[in-house]
Chain A
Amino acid sequence: MAGGSRNHNGKDTTPVDQTNTDLHFISDITTKPHSFKQNPNRKPPPRRYKPVKQLISDEVKFLQTKNLAVDTPTYVSIVSPPSLRPSKNYCDITGLEGPYKNPANMLRFHNVEIYQEVIKNMPSGVDQEYLELRGANVILK
């Protein structure tokens, strides 16, 4: 609190550039030396940060080294299993029921109007964007 009020005073005396002063002041709250974080023995943390995919694969490797009971809840084991219920088909364009499928690009559609007006005149690539919504797009590697 003491630090906060000191900064308030500092701000009052320098009303030059409002937004800039403001940002500097806000930033200082976070970046100033904190009285509650003074550990001279702290090792600097490693710089390299892994993306979430790698974190999960590391976790899988780590869990394999353990001899775990079958029902141990881990980050990877609690994922919802694939659905066993029959899935309904929906129109990719409108979201209405989609009983028909265009064999050329596998897009599902609601009726002939959607086919005539949208699917037939679709610029190339857009069909893949629609398919991507339900993860059915072709991924070239």
Chain B
Amino acid sequence: MTINTSRRGFLKTAAAAGAVLLVGARTDGALAAASTETAQFNPFVKIDADGTVTAIVKHFEKGQGPATGLPTLIAEEIGLRMDQIEYEFAPSNPQVYNNLLFGPFQGTGGSTAMANSWLQYRQAGAAAREMLINAAAQSWGVDASGIVIEEGIVKAGDKSAPIAEFVAAASQMEPPAEPRLKEPSEFRLIGNDAVRRKDSPIKGNGQAKYAMDVHLPNQMVAMIKRPESRGGIATGFDDGASKAIKGYINAAVLPNKAGVAVYAENTWAAIQARDALEVEWDMSGAETRDSDQIKAEIMAALDAEPAYNVNKADAAAVSATIDGADKVVEKTFYFPLLAHAPMEPLNCTIEQTSDGSIVLHDGAQMPTGPHMAYQQIFQLPPEKIQIKTMLAGGSFGRRATPDADYQVEAALAFVVTDRSRPVKLVWTREDDIRSGYYRPAFGHKVRVGLNADGTIAGWQHQVAGQSIMKGTPFEAFSVHDGIDHSSVEGIGDSPYTIPDMAVGLTDTPKATSVLWWRSVGHTHTAYAMETMMDLVAEAAGRDPIEFRLAHLADSSDPDQARKAAVLKLAAEKAGWGNAPAGRSQGIAVHKSFGSYAAEVVEISGDPEIGIKIEKITCAVDCGIAVNPDVVRAQMEGGIGYGIGHAMRDQITLTGGAVDQSNFPDYEPLRIGDIAAIDVHIVPSAEAPTGVGEPGTPPSAPALANAINALSGVHVAEHPMVENGVSFV
């Protein structure tokens, strides 16, 4: 992943009144006078006349930490304490606030927030610092090279003044083309464990505002009555019973007939009125299959010739190598559909302003999605659509639908009104669990041959499941020669030395709407890879860590070296091989989103009576850890997310209808499920890579390997509780 920002210039603008210094990267790479270029201006840092510094955060905050991390970069480069910088979320503008890794598209995902902001935000902060210093140099008549900014104070010899004194003069200056970035030896905030989250206080005292907390004057609450199975069409409704509900306003079939919008004065009235509404459905085009049928299609595909030869290997030759090997280990895996179930049910609020503009209040993960969709729906130019990004109560991928599903649904519920009242679309937990966009079900069939010396001779790996990316605007990024890389990532591109490997892929027919889910393809590929590594090591009579290290032995290959390093660190910190009596350990290691994570799960108990997860030790290499405690928190959360779903969760369909509906039958991880998690960060001078997702992939296979080590039970299907394992 290469981020080239070297051709980006900087520019600033000065507001006529109340001198404000704004600094940011230009999109066209050229410098221009701010006074004529404000429309193209792209600020990441804003300094008010009173010296208040604000980071404009282009990534939304769902808990993963950009509202702390991006201000940290700017505060570091200017020379501020963390309490001297505020943050606000950027408006929707895909040209200026784009994700550098997504093209002209503003959005958060793929664990990229820090990776693509690292240089951009530091350069913005460094440019602001140099302009403030140059202003001080002029004012004091001293050379700029003798001036520093520390804790918001500009200092030169015996002279010192707060930055506020130089904001007006700095705002009249030309920004530097290539501001000097601080050396790591100068860092005070980056990598500092004492830096706290900026959003902690408001999230512990109820003051944090999520989209669910929007209350616009005169707003209506809308809920959508949807068909039992996806694809049903509303043909009419009877709201006679709804009319008895106090606060019910009316109902309308959505323009796309995918459901009926119920409008009410408040949320409780909307819930009741929707329950009372009778809808006539045309179910002739609806999904009718059971999840057992979907599974059967996937399993059948694994036994057939794969549609795609992923790594262009000679599959017949690989197969022959395995046939001729000293030992062969073969296993078939199945992973069910999964819902994301973020804590805040999906919602957003739309209003039309007096000038005909549309304003969307949303915990917007990919603002460009609804921004583009709304131009079509409302027939408005982009500047007449504003998106106000709120804090988001989790996502795990769910808020980032390529078709902007819930924002479009809200727009459709709004356009059928007279638009005089804002409409707040609210989903219940039942809507969330039942409304699709699942982690697709996948199957893997893996055959590995071992040499007599206990090394891998050949590895044949078939994958079958529904493509996430095909048919979406992201197809061009992920799909090449028909192969959706997100279906097979983490297999053929694994850093292990595997001499003879063939990876095949078959897309199975569309079963339901599918979507990336925290760590995307790695959710299942890491499980197949890493539990196979244990089974093969066992067949070779080798220790799981020693076996892996033997296949990561090329220290000149940074990929192998970094993967080996996290493996060794996790093993050391976990006390590998020295578990207390009655306990067993399992390990897994996986590279995803540019980062390397190894996890050791230590368990006690028995699969039949109940297994207890006593301790999980994680080692992660994510390059420079900008906020180490945020990195640790993301590992803790990523592990919990992976473990919880592998233990207990699945979405199943009966006659096309989703069987689960709420937390009682889609049981979340609970506090007692994991007794302790201990995270260790590998010191690094490399640029930062992802942390939101890489903690998830190794967690479930490490648990499975611990269960196998304890009892000889290898769990090849999820959820574990449906496949021979119980937990206490």
A binds B: no
B residues in contact (CB < 8 Å) with A: none
A residues in contact (CB < 8 Å) with B: none
